[in-house]
Amino acid sequence: MRRKFLAPAAAGALAAVCWFVLPATPGADAPKTEPIPHGQDQMPGPALSPADAMKKMTLPEGFSVELVASEPDVVNPVAMTFDERGRLWITESLEYPRASAGPGKDRIKILEDTHGDGKFDKITVFADGLNIPSGLALGYGGVWVANSPDILFLQDTKGTGKADKKEVVVTGFGRYDTHELPNSLTWGPDGWLYGWNGVFNPAHVVQNGKTFDFTCALFRIHPRTHEFQLFAEGTSNPWGLAWNGEGDAFCEACVIDHLWHIAEGAYYIRQGGPYPPFTWPMESIVKHHHQTAA
């Protein structure tokens, strides 16, 4: 390393500019290498175009892949659903993993295929100013959004395609771990709106004189009265909720076992944290792990 030094001039002489060579700092000029991501044995491959990414997919026999939307039309998608018109509603998060609550840069988009060619060509921003919107459901004349600490109900009352009315339905969800936020808003066969919360994201919901302190749990909200209930507790960081024809609920979770049959009032094995007294936790319905994620 060279350092510039201005030598003081003697009387009647010009000042001199000198260079001094300093010892090199060990490793200072060594090329920087990115660390291998957690849980992987090698670096991921380079970013691919949508077309190139599809070429690398391995599909079961009889299946094919079609591109319907890609960047920049869709950026950092988190949750999605379809409406009765075949439009795709999607939440985007630029704020993740921000822990603080309050307005953000995230948004909800509506993607529409106006030409009937299988590609979404019309993009509308239905709502913005959100902060990691991690769940989305349509119904009762509006859009239900998990936007911790709140569950919101957004409406387009003027027919402009954009939300102009916002209501906080339930509040009190945490943001301690922002990849375990309330998520997977899904209508149940009983007409209630269901959603998940993760094991390391404590929630404190107070409603009508009742207090709900919980972490990993399946909750539900009545769409008309907005009554809040806990349906079942346990698992780890659950994302995804599906119902079969008999009304049984199933979910996925990570780190521990991955597939769970959820019964009302049940308590399941959890990734961490204490169990309530006299609890006999139920197990998952699989005996295998798929890497370390669901």
Percent of the chain with pLDDT over 90: 77
Lowest mean pLDDT among 41-45, 54-58, 65-69: 41-45
Q: Report the b/e string of 146-171 with b at 16+ CB within 10 A.
A: bbbbbbbbbebeeeeeebeebeebbb
Using CB atoms within 10 Å of the CB of residue 200, give its burial: 0 to 12 exposed, 13 to 18 middle, 19+ buried: middle
Boundaries of every domain in the chain: 68-149, 172-294
Confidence bin at 44 (pLDDT 50/70/90) = confident
Q: Is the pLDDT of residue 52 over 70?
A: yes
Q: Return the pLDDT at 290.
A: 67
- Looking only at the bridges linking them, the beta strands covering 267-270 and 228-235 are parallel
| E strands, the chain, in order | 2-7, 16-21, 77-82, 88-92, 106-112, 122-130, 135-139, 142-147, 150-155, 165-171, 183-187, 193-197, 203-207, 210-214, 217-221, 228-235, 239-243, 249-252, 259-262, 267-270
Side-chain half-sphere CA neighbours of 202 within 13 A:
5
Lowest mean pLDDT among 26-30, 117-121, 213-217, 230-234: 26-30
Percent of the chain with pLDDT over 70: 87
Range 106-114 average pLDDT: 97
SS3 (DSSP) at 156: coil
Looking at residue 55, the DSSP 8-state letter turns out to be H
Please check whether residue 98 is in contact with residue 116, taking contact to mean a CB–CB distance below 8 angstroms. no
pLDDT tens-digit map of 76-106:
999 999 999 999 999 999 999 999 999 999 9
pLDDT tens-digit map of 247-294:
999 999 888 878 999 999 999 999 999 999 999 999 999 877 666 555
Structure-model confidence comparison of residues 44 and 134, the more confident one: 134
Please check whether residue 214 is in contact with residue 192, taking contact to mean a CB–CB distance below 8 angstroms. no
d(C-alpha 200, C-alpha 195), whole Å? 16
Query: Alpha helix locations (H) across the chain?
Result: 50-55
Q: What is the mean pLDDT of the chain?
A: 89
Q: Is the pLDDT of residue 206 over 80?
A: yes
Q: Is the pLDDT of residue 136 over 90?
A: yes
Torsion angle of the four alpha carbons 221, 176, 133, 48, in this order, in degrees rounded to the nearest 10: -140
Range 188-201 average pLDDT: 97
Query: Which CATH number fits the domain 68-149, given the four candidates 2.60.40.1220, 1.25.40.10, 2.40.10.500, 1.10.3720.10?
Result: 2.40.10.500
Q: Is the pLDDT of residue 15 over 50?
A: no
Residue type, 221: I
At a CB cut-off of 8 Å and minimum separation 6, what does 9 contact? 15, 16
User: Which long-range contacts link 246-251 to residues 24+ away (Cβ below 8 Å)?
Assistant: 247/189, 247/190, 249/188, 249/194, 249/218, 251/184, 251/196, 251/218
Please check whether residue 260 is in contact with residue 268, taking contact to mean a CB–CB distance below 8 angstroms. yes
Using only C-alpha atoms, the chain has a radius of gyration, in whole angstroms, of 26
Please check whether residue 182 is in contact with residue 212, taking contact to mean a CB–CB distance below 8 angstroms. no
Q: Is the pLDDT of residue 21 over 70?
A: no
Range 117-137 average pLDDT: 96
